[in-house]
Amino acid sequence: MRLPYLLLDIDGVLIPFPDDHGNTPATHGRHEVVPTGRSADVPVTVWLNFADGPMLMDVIRTGLVTPVWCTSWRRDATTLIGPLLGLPPLPYVDLPRPQITTSHPNGYLWKRDHVGAWLGDAPAIGIDDDFTNLDHAWATERTIRGAATLLLQPDPYVGLRAEHLMEALEWAGQLPAAPTCESGDSRGSEAA
């Protein structure tokens, strides 16, 4: 079995949402970034926890997962957010830009169908704050079909915790070993 993809979202995971009073966790510092297609005169404010970078690097170094950005930040995840956290360039799922007004236009997370097609039968760990019960049912169905899938859902006002990554590693460590002759996957993700 190949290594599971660790599908990392950003908003609500690495960048917690402000609470009702506009506050973010005290562990997160403010940064201004300029996403693709945006004017430098109108940067986007993000709050990041510098401890998340080393925590993610520890997970990457285990060799138990293949990290991939899976976020509406698309390529900007690897060129803007990753470097602020001290992460190397990571591949990303090149998600579409749907014209939607909700994250769940069909009752489940908008990116799920695209991610499911991108994954094929590859095992996956999804870390996203926006899963619904239908997404969890989809993960169970994938697992039953032989594509082991774990979904982890941080509190969007708190973000990623060490416990999420520990659970991901424990789960990945229980999967059958990946063949050592596997040299990677060219499944259409983009790399920086």
- Under the banding of pLDDT at 50, 70 and 90, the label for residue 105 is confident
Burial category of 192 from C-beta neighbours within 10 Å (exposed 0-12, middle 13-18, buried 19 and up)? middle
142-160: average pLDDT: 97
Please write the tens of the pLDDT for every residue from 173-189.
999 875 444 444 545 44
Distances in whole angstroms, Cα of residue 28 to Cα of each of 34, 85, 166, 192: 19, 11, 21, 25
Q: At 38, list the tokens.
A: 């945006």
Backbone angles phi, psi at 14, to 5 degrees: -90, -25
HSE-CB at 22 with a 13 A cutoff on CA atoms is: 2
Please write the tens of the pLDDT for every residue from 70-94.
999 999 999 999 999 999 999 999 9
Please write the tens of the pLDDT for every residue from 5-33.
999 999 999 999 999 999 999 999 999 99
Q: Is the dihedral of CA 19, 112, 95, 62 positive or negative?
A: positive
Average pLDDT over the chain, rounded to whole? 90
Is the pLDDT at 96 greater than 90, yes or no?
no
DSSP structure string for 118-182: HHTT--EEEE-S---HHHHHHHHHHHHTT--EEEE---TTT---HHHHHHHHHHHHTSPPPPTT-
DSSP structure string for 9-39: --BTTTBPPP-TTS---TT-EEEEE--TTS-
Q: What is the pLDDT of residue 30?
A: 93
Q: How far is 122 from 101, CA to CA, in rounded Å? A: 30
The helix/strand/coil state of 108 is: coil
Q: What is the pLDDT of residue 154?
A: 97
